[in-house]
Amino acid sequence: MKDKKFTQVSSTKGSEELLLWKDYSVYLYDEAIGRVYIGDFILELAKSDASTAENIVNFIEKFQEGKGLPLEMIKGKKPKIKEIALGNKLYEFREFSNGLKKHIRVYFLIDEKGKRVVFLSACFKSDNKKQDRDIKVAISRQKEYLRKQK
CA angle, 86 then 89 then 91, to 5°: 90
Please provide the CATH number assigned to the domain covering 27-64+78-149: 3.30.2310
The pLDDT of residue 4 is: 45
The pLDDT of residue 133 is: 92
SS3 assignment, position 93 = strand
| pLDDT averaged per 10 residues, the chain (length 150) | 43 55 88 75 95 96 90 87 82 95 95 92 90 91 87
Amino acid at 26: V
The pLDDT of residue 32 is: 58
The pLDDT of residue 120 is: 93
What distance in Å separates the CA atoms of residue 72 and residue 105, rounded to the nearest whole number? 18
- Asked whether the beta carbons of 140 and 49 are under 8 A apart, the reply is no
The pLDDT of residue 9 is: 41
- Asked whether the beta carbons of 62 and 81 are under 8 A apart, the reply is no
Q: How many residues can be counted in the chain?
A: 150
What distance in Å separates the CA atoms of residue 67 and residue 21, rounded to the nearest whole number? 8
The pLDDT of residue 30 is: 74
Residue whose C-alpha is closest to residue 111's, from 142, 82, 139, 85: 142
CA angle, 30 then 47 then 106, to 5°: 40
The pLDDT of residue 29 is: 83
The pLDDT of residue 126 is: 85
